[in-house]
Amino acid sequence: MTLCYLDGAFLPLAEASISPMDRGFLFGDGVYEVIPVYSRRPFRLDEHLRRLQQSLAAIRLVNPLSVDEWRNVVAHLVAQAEWDDQSVLLQVTRGPMAQRNHAFPATVKPTVFGLAEKLHTPPDEQRKQGIAAISTADIRWLRCHVKATSLLANCLLRQMALEAGCAETILFRDGILSEGAASNIFVVKNGVLLAPQKNHLMLSGITYDVVLELAATNSLPTEVCDIGDAEVRAADELWMTSSTKEVLPIVTLDGKNVGAGRTAGRPGPLFQQMYGWYQDFKRTVMRG
């Protein structure tokens, strides 16, 4: 039986219900986090809770729980779930309203939801052979740093990739790389790891931060900068990162091989290194 957290109580998911007048349902008026859990230890929980606080502040919602309360919710969900590796969803919406109205209700009672699901890390084959991506214009709003539940554009963009037989869509805003439909994107060129600058056009990824930290620890040169369309297409390597996918190599973009020479269309050597560092880092977290 899958247990969830809803508005102060833990209950079977099958028994959980919210009002159809919930602003999360009617307007996508809410924010969320997805936290990976390895061997029942949440990975970077403090950072996820900090970003949740930032998202709530950005949509003008008071955090309904303290950090300790959030930690307890997560601990309880993780302990109850049947798997050792999990993906924990935390979601807060602006709650129900008496009548449909864009304006905030006079009294806001947020809906708070938590759920632990089985973590599906990418199959080995995707890591060994790499994934295919397409690219398109970033059609989303100008608050992409907010981890909002209103994900219609992201869903359409991810679906576009899947229907083209690819795994991710890389987004460009006015010719500059922003991110993927549900991931951050890195570029490797001449031995340097290039990362897009954090701003309102992309989500400040927790995995993005880990990758840059691991690069610094291991003396891999990095540069955080605007990355143009041409630079992405001339990349030696392209990676995508997210809490559930970790780090994955993108080996074709719009049907063309990424990279040149021996590793064209195949995962590159810096990816192999980063993947190893990432797995080692996870193991240190799991040891506690």
**Catalytic residue positions, numbered:** 147
DSSP string, 1-55: --EEEETTEEEEGGG----TTBHHHHH--EEEEEEEEETTEESSHHHHHHHHHHH
Give the nearer residue to ligand PDD in terms of CB position, either 3 or 203: 203
- The distance of closest approach from Cβ of residue 151 to ligand PDD in the complex, given in angstroms and rounded to an integer, is 7
Angle between helices 206-217 and 269-287 (to 10 degrees): 100
- The distance of closest approach from Cβ of residue 222 to ligand PDD in the complex, given in angstroms and rounded to an integer, is 17
- The distance of closest approach from Cβ of residue 107 to ligand PDD in the complex, given in angstroms and rounded to an integer, is 30
55 makes contact with ligand PDD (CB under 6 A): no
Give the nearer residue to ligand PDD in terms of CB position, either 242 or 263: 242
- The distance of closest approach from Cβ of residue 176 to ligand PDD in the complex, given in angstroms and rounded to an integer, is 15
Spell out the residues 6+ positions from residue 130 whose beta carbon is closer than 8 angstroms to its own. Answer: 248, 249, 250, 251, 252, 258, 265, 266, 267
| Binding region for ligand PDD (CB under 6 A) out of 65-73, 91-99, 239-247, 266-274 | 239-247
240 makes contact with ligand PDD (CB under 6 A): no
| Closest C-alpha among 283, 279, 268 to residue 129 | 268
263 makes contact with ligand PDD (CB under 6 A): no
**Cα end-to-end distance, the chain, whole Å:** 28
Subset of 152-211 contacting ligand PDD (CB under 6 A): 154, 179, 182-184, 203, 205-208
Residue 151, SS3 per DSSP: coil
- Which parts of this chain interact with ligand PDD (CB under 6 A)? 34, 154, 179, 182-184, 203, 205-208, 241-244
